[in-house]
Amino acid sequence: MNLKNRTLQFSAILLVVSLGAGSLIWFRLQERKPTENKVQIKVFQAKEVTSPSQQSLSGRIEMSGVVVSTELATLRAKTAGVLVRLHVQEGSEVRKGQVLAEIDISDLKSRTDEREAALLAARRSFDFAQSQHKANADLASQGFISQNALVSSNVNLSSAEAQFKAAESAAVAHRKLLNDAVLTAPIDGIISKRHALVGEKLSLEQEVLSLVNPGRLEFKTMVDSAASQLLKPGQLIDISLEGLSKPVAGRLDRISPGNDVAARALPVFISLANPKAASIRPGLMGTATVSYPMSASGLTLPISAIQEEGGKNVVWALRQGLLQRQTVTVGMKDSQGLNAYILDGVKAEDQVLVLRFEGLKEGTKYEVKP
C-alpha cells in the first residue's frame, strides 16, 4: 500500500472517531438539559402556614426561687463540756420542750454544790447578823450600849446581807448553767443538721443542732423593679416545685422595699398553704408564675414560626410565589409562651411558615395545598 492510500485510510478513521465523540458529547448535553431547566417547587400543607393575627396577649412573670422555713432554730452549747448524749438524728421530728442532747455536768455539778453550800453559810450569817442587830438595837434603846456599838452592828448586818446576795447570785448562775447542760427543742420541727458528735468537747456557744418547722414554709424569689409593679400582697400565685407533678398554690405575703445588692432585684416572699400535706421541704427549687392581661393589641405570631439566626429573629414569608427570609422584631410573649407580639417585619396580609424549616432557600417557588 502506497503512502497516499495510508493517509486516506488514517483520515477516514480519524473522521469516524471524531464523529463518534461528538455524538456522545451531544447526547450527554441533551440529557442534562431537562435537569438544568427543571424548576424546584416546595409544597406545603395548609396547616404549615399561618398569618399574623391582631389580638391582645396575656403577659407572664416567671420567678425562680427556693423554699425556706420561716421558723428555724440553732441550738448552741451554753456551757462548756463533753457531749455525752444525743437523742436525735438528722430528719428526726421533735416537739417543743423535748430533750435533744446532754452535756457532761460532773465538774459543773461539783462547782454548783460549792456555790449552794456557800449560799447556805451566807444565809446563816445574815440571819445571825439580823438577830444580833435587833438585840443591839433593844440594848441601845435602854442605854446599855453606845450608839457607836449600834452603828458597828448595823455595818456588820449590811456586810452579811451583801455577802448573802452575792452567794445567792452565784448559786443562781450555776443552777442556770446546770439547766443549760440539757438542750431542749425551742420549737416543734425537724432536725435539719447535726453540728457535733457524742464525745466531742464543746466550747461555749458552739453549734450543736439545727431544726426547722416544716409547717411554716415560704417560697423566696426575686423580681426586677419594673415587674414588681404588677405584684400585690395577697395575690394568689402558682409555684412549680421540683419533684412535684402539680403546681402548689401560694399567696404573695410581702415584697422587700429595697433591692438585693448582689441580685439587683427585689426579694419576694410567697407563703405556702399547708406545706406538710404536700410533702414540701426546705431547699426545694421551683418557679413562681404570674399571668396578667396586656392592654395593648397588636400583630402576633406563634413562637414556632420564629427562628433565631445569628442573633436575629427571622420568619419564612410566602410572598408573590417565592420564599423570603424576613427579619422581625419580637415583643413580649404571652403567659403560655406560645405566641408573641411582632413589632416590625410582617403585615397582617402576609403568610409565614410555622412548621418544616429544613432545606429552605430564599427565592424558592412554593405551593400550598389544602
In the structure grid, which three cell numbers stand for residue 129, read together? 447578823
Higher per-residue confidence, 190 vs 126: 190
Percent of the chain at pLDDT exceeding 90? 29
Report the Cα 91 to chain-centroid distance in Å: 21
Residue pLDDT, tens place only, 15-47: 655 666 666 665 565 555 544 445 578 889 888
How would you class 308 by CB atoms within 10 Å of its CB: exposed for 0-12, middle for 13-18, buried for 19 or more?
exposed
The per-residue pLDDT for 37 is 45
Lowest-confidence segment of 26-30, 70-74, 100-104, 204-208 by average pLDDT: 26-30
The per-residue pLDDT for 51 is 92
Residue pLDDT, tens place only, 61-87: 889 999 998 888 999 988 888 898 999
Q: What is the fold of 44-57+296-369? A: 2.40.420
Most confident of 5-14, 45-54, 223-232: 45-54
265 with 224: CB under 8 angstroms? yes
Residue pLDDT, tens place only, 300-345: 999 999 988 888 999 999 998 999 999 999 887 877 778 888 999 9
pLDDT of residue 282 exceeding 60? yes
- Residue at grid coordinates 419594673: 226
Q: What is the fold of 62-70+213-293? A: Elongation Factor Tu (Ef-tu); domain 3 (2.40.30)
Mean pLDDT, residues 187-208 taken together: 91
pLDDT of residue 238 exceeding 70? yes
316 with 326: CB under 8 angstroms? yes
The per-residue pLDDT for 36 is 43
In the structure grid, which three cell numbers stand for residue 274, read together? 399547708
Q: What is the fold of 105-180? A: Helix Hairpins (1.10.287)
- Residue at grid coordinates 416537739: 95
Query: Structural domain boundaries of the chain?
Result: 44-57+296-369, 62-70+213-293, 105-180
The per-residue pLDDT for 61 is 85
Count of helix runs (H) and strand runs (E) in the chain: 4, 24
77 with 101: CB under 8 angstroms? no
Is residue 1 classed as helix, strand or coil in its secondary structure?
A: coil
pLDDT of residue 99 exceeding 50? yes
Euclidean distance between CA atoms 211 and 188, whole angstroms: 9
Mean pLDDT, residues 51-57 taken together: 89
The per-residue pLDDT for 357 is 82
Strands (E), 9-150: 41-45, 49-50, 53-55, 58-69, 72-76, 81-86, 93-94, 99-103
Higher per-residue confidence, 345 vs 295: 345
Percent of the chain at pLDDT exceeding 70? 82
Q: CA angle at residue 333 from 332 to 335, to 5 degrees?
A: 125
pTM above 0.85, yes or no: no
Q: How big, in percent rounded to 5, are the helix, strand and coil portions of the chain?
A: 30, 35, 30
For residue 85, what are the contacts with CB-CB under 8 A and spacing of at least 6? 101, 102, 198
pLDDT of residue 184 exceeding 80? yes
- Provide DSSP, 178-235: HHHTEEE-SSSEEEEEE---TTPEEPTT-EEEEEE-TTSEEEEEEE-HHHHTT--TT-
